[in-house]
């Protein structure tokens, strides 16, 4: 008999259901010397109510793949999106790019000692910026020229807020996937940080195919879910592009009986958003570009992704909710408890998980 969807509680799911206690020393503050030396927790979510965990090293990841599988990577490139400025009065202004807009404008997170209002001038090393208005909790800012080149020249690498140190010489290279190609992200698609040239070569030698898409990760990825009801949370929009060649590779993989393996939650969001926008499944995907604010949580109607590589995520976060939707909340939180007991490293520079699809979604 085919198992039904696992609902750990009959009551409505609350944000507190995605909480866990993490010892601060398990938050990775630096990358390892070798990308593929990170640990890999393989989670088989099929046994109920909890899954089965297997401890591995990431360099062994190719052994978990079959020749007909397809890995889909996010090829976005992190820009130096953090910027410091001053008001004419001398007050400091901290800025973080959320996304560039058309022409010489961009959406920024801005923090100053006093509220910033339309018409406010901010002095920076690259020239003066002008605050033009607000869009919810973001500021619309005019630059002396296009925003991305401005940040490339004058910005700093935007390490996540839980990395409690200033960027050093290795971060511009290590907080970047080896497949990064299209500039525009302000946070790295961290699951891909574990892949190095040797791992990619061994994956190719097994006959496993590789494809890419682009989703420019915004700083909103670190935005906590503050509402007790997670359905009240609103995501910031992010721009994505799904190439036609990737759609063709996905269709060929399905036809051959292989798995579509998403390298990171950003790939999951991009593929599932495109499928939803086109009202179809993996076989009917077409090339697509545009904005998405998709929020994947329990009850999501999965259409494309068969397996997932992902890092360990913040408590009460939309990313943890996504992983729980894929693997099951009980299995996911039990895996996190196992990782904590085994002293895995957490968050952007931390270790990884590999999660095949659940049996009830086969």
pLDDT of residue 10: 52
pLDDT of 43-102, one tens digit each?
Answer: 988 776 667 999 999 999 999 999 999 999 999 999 999 999 999 999 999 999 999 998
Range of the domain at 197: 16-78+170-361
Say yes or no: 243 and 203 in one domain: yes
pLDDT of 166-191, one tens digit each?
Answer: 999 999 999 999 999 999 999 999 99
Say yes or no: 24 and 140 in one domain: no
Given a cut of 60, whether residue 5 has pLDDT beyond it is: no
Say yes or no: 207 and 306 in one domain: yes
Q: Could you give the count of Cα atoms lying within 13 Å of 216 in the half-sphere of its Cβ?
A: 22
Average the pLDDT over each of 98-102, 197-201, 253-257, 354-358 and give the range with the smallest value.
354-358
Say yes or no: 339 and 216 in one domain: yes
pTM over 0.85: yes
Average pLDDT for 236-241: 92
Residue 163 lies in a domain: no
Say yes or no: 150 and 210 in one domain: no
Element (H, E) at 96: strand 92-100
Helices (H), 231-317: 244-255, 265-277
Say yes or no: 42 and 121 in one domain: no
Quick one: three-class SS letters along 100-161? ECCCCEEEEEEEECCCCCCCCEEEECCEEEEEEEEECCEEEEECCCCHHHHHHHHCECCCCC
Say yes or no: 283 and 330 in one domain: yes
pLDDT of residue 220: 78
Given a cut of 80, whether residue 283 has pLDDT beyond it is: no
pLDDT of residue 48: 64
pLDDT of residue 178: 97
Residue 251 lies in a domain: yes
Given a cut of 50, whether residue 159 has pLDDT beyond it is: yes
Sign, Cα dihedral of 19, 20, 25, 26: negative
Q: Which long-range contacts (CB under 8 A, 24 or more apart) does 200-209 make?
A: 202/62, 203/61, 203/62, 203/65, 203/71, 205/62, 206/62, 206/65, 206/66, 206/67, 207/67, 207/68, 208/62, 208/65, 208/66, 208/67, 208/69, 208/70, 208/71, 209/69, 209/70, 209/71, 209/249, 209/253
**pLDDT tier, 8 (very low <50, low <70, confident <90, very high otherwise):** very low
pLDDT of 45-56, one tens digit each?
Answer: 877 666 799 999
> Cα–Cα distance between 9 and 6 in angstroms, integer?
9
pLDDT of 304-313, one tens digit each?
Answer: 999 999 999 9
Say yes or no: 129 and 204 in one domain: no
Q: How many structural domains does the chain have?
A: 2
pLDDT of residue 45: 80
């Amino acid at each position: 008999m085919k198992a039904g969807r696992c609902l750990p509680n009959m009551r409505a799911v609350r944000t507190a259901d995605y909480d866990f206690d993490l010892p601060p020393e398990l938050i990775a503050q630096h990358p390892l010397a070798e990308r593929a030396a990170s640990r890999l927790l393989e989670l088989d979510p099929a046994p109920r109510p909890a899954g089965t965990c297997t401890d591995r090293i990431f360099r062994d990841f190719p052994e978990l793949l079959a020749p007909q599988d397809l890995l889909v990577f996010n090829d976005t490139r992190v820009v130096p999106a953090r910027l410091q400025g001053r008001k004419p009065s001398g007050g400091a202004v901290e800025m973080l790019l959320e996304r560039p807009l058309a022409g010489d404008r961009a959406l920024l997170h801005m923090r100053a000692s006093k509220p910033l209002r339309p018409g406010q001038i901010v002095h920076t090393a690259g020239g003066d910026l002008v605050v033009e208005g607000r869009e919810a909790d973001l500021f619309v800012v005019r630059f002396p020229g296009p925003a991305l080149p401005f940040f490339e020249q004058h910005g700093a690498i935007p390490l996540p807020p839980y990395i409690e140190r200033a960027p050093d010489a290795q971060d511009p290279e290590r907080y970047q996937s080896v497949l990064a190609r299209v500039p525009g992200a302000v946070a790295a698609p961290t699951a891909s940080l574990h892949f190095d040239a040797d791992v990619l070569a061994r994956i190719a030698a097994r006959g496993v195919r590789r494809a890419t898409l682009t989703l420019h990760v915004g700083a909103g990825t670190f935005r906590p879910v503050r509402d007790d009801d997670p359905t009240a949370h609103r995501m910031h929009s992010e721009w994505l592009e799904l190439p036609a060649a990737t759609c063709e590779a996905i269709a060929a993989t399905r036809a051959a009986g292989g798995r579509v393996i998403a390298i990171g939650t950003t790939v999951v969001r991009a593929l599932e958003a495109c499928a939803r926008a086109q009202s179809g499944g993996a076989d009917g995907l077409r090339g697509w570009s545009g904005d998405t604010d998709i929020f994947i949580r329990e009850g999501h109607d999965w259409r494309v992704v068969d397996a997932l590589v992902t890092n360990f995520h913040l408590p009460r976060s939309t990313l943890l909710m996504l992983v729980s939707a894929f693997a099951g909340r009980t299995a996911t939180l039990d895996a996190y408890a196992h990782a904590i007991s085994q002293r895995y490293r957490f968050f952007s520079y931390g270790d990884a998980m590999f999660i095949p699809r659940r049996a009830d979604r086969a």
